[in-house]
Chain A
Amino acid sequence: MAEIHLTRLRKTYGKIEAIKDLSLDIRDGEFLVLLGPSGCGKTTTLRAIAGLEMLDRGRILIGGRDVTLLPPGRRGIAMVFQSYAVFPHMRVYDNIVFGLRMRHVPEADQRRRAQEAADLLQIGHLFDRYPAQLSGGQRQRVAVARAIVMRPDVLLMDEPLSNLDALLRLHMRAELKRLHRELRATTVYVTHDQVEALSLGDRIAVMREGEIVQCASPGEIYDRPASRFVGGFIGSPPMNFLTGTVAHRNGAAHVDVGGASIPLPSGAAVAGEVTIGIRPEHIAVEFTPSAEAVPASVSVLEPIGSYQLLTAQVGADVIKVSVPPEFEADPGRRIWLRFDPRRVRLMDPQTGAAVAAS
């Protein structure tokens, strides 16, 4: 069992607070993604779990064992670095068994385990090469093999795919997911790529300025972002935001926005000004006016392949809508945008925090 408990971690560099007051429980065998923009403290958090970063405060438990003060090598972790950190002066085989040698694993076992790891990652034929003779993708596989050969309780990965080209990244993403299913090691994965996070994570912890702003399943994060920041950070294109007013009429809650009045099916716990969040795919475009649809005008239509991205002007705001590929509309044309009422997220206009529907 290797669940991870992070309790009230704090780390500062001079005046900069890299991690403010972070607590997080990661379940055994879980694939947890730390997601956030650069400088949000996600890598620092990962390095703290690895033991490469001394904390100002807080405790780290791995599998019930307090490892806060243990050196990296005695925490039962293995790590894949962003730069891969493959040792350039050693052959691939020596790279892979480096950790086993440090642990004095018998020679025969080293061979067998290296072969197993190499088979999993299809790099067995590269054993005698030096890292300089490998491609970026192969080097990355060596780095992963070197980590999993240790049979770690916890596997830590720091943006492992960020240095690969787009096609290879797509391929390795699926490989990592398969690997996790086969090994079932608790995995903590750092990335700033929201697509990677959504596709890999059992849960995603979205970080901002040294704090976790939301930690939930990918579906939950996507459908019910806890704040304007999360909604704006996840999704491509991200969530649209408009200013509206919540009003109660005839015993039902409505939100008035841009001249339209959208009924809220579940009611609302607030009244007055709100920020409305709606994803591009939850908006339908109509060519006839309606009281429940927001009037807008077409500015740009971009075909993206499987769908088209429509940019529309609502008053002073710009709204992105995904529309089917056969959709046609000339720029300047008046349209009406019907928001799916069940998908509308209401947020506090000041704090950006989501307001729970009652």
Chain B
Amino acid sequence: MTLRNLGLSAAVLLISAWVALPLVLIAIAAFTPRELLYQWPRPFWPESFTLETMRFFLRSTGVWQSTLNSVMVAVLTIALAFAIAAPAGYAIARFRFRGRDSVQLAILMVKMFPATVLSIPLAVAFIRWRLYDTLLGVAIVHTALSIPFVIVIVTSVFLGISYELEEAAMTLGSSRAQAFARIALPMALPGLAASAIFTFVLSWNEVFAATILTLNNRTLPALIIDSVLGAGAPLHFRFAGGFFMIVPALIIIFLIRRYLLTLWGVTVR
């Protein structure tokens, strides 16, 4: 093995450890018996495992309700984000229109302001519009956060599908809409599904807006943060909650990893 390969392998190992180690530690802790968790010094690998911690977490008040809330917010977010971002992405991929570059730039502007700065005005506005402490309110904020991603991904998906295919369909007697529905859409479907799932993960993981904008209708991350910061939940509850949050995201990212790579690859081009 050459020095270059060695360096590369070391870098890969380091970055992987950087990402994976906290996840592994959380997973181990989530299945460690309560008393072992408070032991000092604590061994890396516990002597025994238990499902008791997870069971305790899942039986806690509000966990199932907020999980359901999280799912509903995520689904609403996907619907809203796609209603707005998918046509925008298609337009950017297909048409040269006045202000196209400005639109592409403006898409990134949402990312310009830290959510912290927006939170107070947003909370005030939502109270006024009676959106405060509603799932729709959280979904709207999540939509705003995910729109840039969805537009970029949808754009790259449609850039990957030659417009000539749609034109060919049009010369064969279909209208613009038919050409889209019969040619571009079926070909884009896997990529669109991948970006929908990605949006789901974004919303599922988002904690800040969800905490600021809800009181009783907590999403899962908001509930966990709240019980940790507000109620001082015990250590094993935190680890169990963390593990419960990570698993869906991990599984989903694993399933669509190939798509995410190609999607970003196309965008860079």
B-binding residues in A (CB < 8 A): 50-52, 71-74, 77-79, 81, 83, 85, 87-89, 98-99, 102-103, 146, 150, 156
Contacts and interface: CB of A to CB of B under 8 A. Distances in A.
B187 A79 contact: no
Q: Which of B162, B174, B186 has the most CB of A within 10 A?
A: B174
B173 interface: yes
Q: Which of B168, B175, B176, B187 has the most CB of A within 10 A?
A: B168
Given A74-B173, A85-B162, A102-B173, 7 more contacts: A52-B167, A52-B171, A73-B175, A81-B168, A83-B162, A85-B164, A102-B178
A51 B178 CA distance: 16
27 contacts: A51-B171, A52-B171, A71-B170, A72-B170, A72-B171, A73-B171, A73-B173, A77-B171, A78-B171, A81-B164, A81-B167, A81-B168, A83-B164, A85-B164, A87-B168, A87-B169, A88-B187, A89-B186, A89-B187, A99-B172, A99-B173, A102-B169, A102-B173, A102-B178, A103-B173, A146-B168, A150-B173
Interface of B: 162, 164-165, 167-176, 178, 183, 186-187
Contacts of B178: 102
Contacts of B174: 73, 102
B170 A73 contact: yes
Contacts of A102: 169, 172-174, 178
A98 B170 CA distance: 11
A126 to B, nearest CB: 18
A37 B60 CA distance: 75
A81 B169 CA distance: 11
10 cross-chain pairs, A with B, having the tightest CB-CB distances, nearest first: A99-B172, A85-B168, A102-B173, A73-B173, A85-B164, A72-B171, A79-B171, A72-B170, A102-B174, A85-B165
Q: Which of B162, B171, B175 has the most CB of A within 10 A?
A: B171
B243 to A, nearest CB: 40
B164 A146 contact: no
Nearest to B161: A88
A89 B173 CA distance: 19
A146 B171 CA distance: 11
A156 B169 CA distance: 14
A293 B261 CA distance: 69
A78 B173 CA distance: 9
B171 A98 contact: no
A89 B164 CA distance: 14
A79 B172 CA distance: 8
Contacts of B175: 71, 73
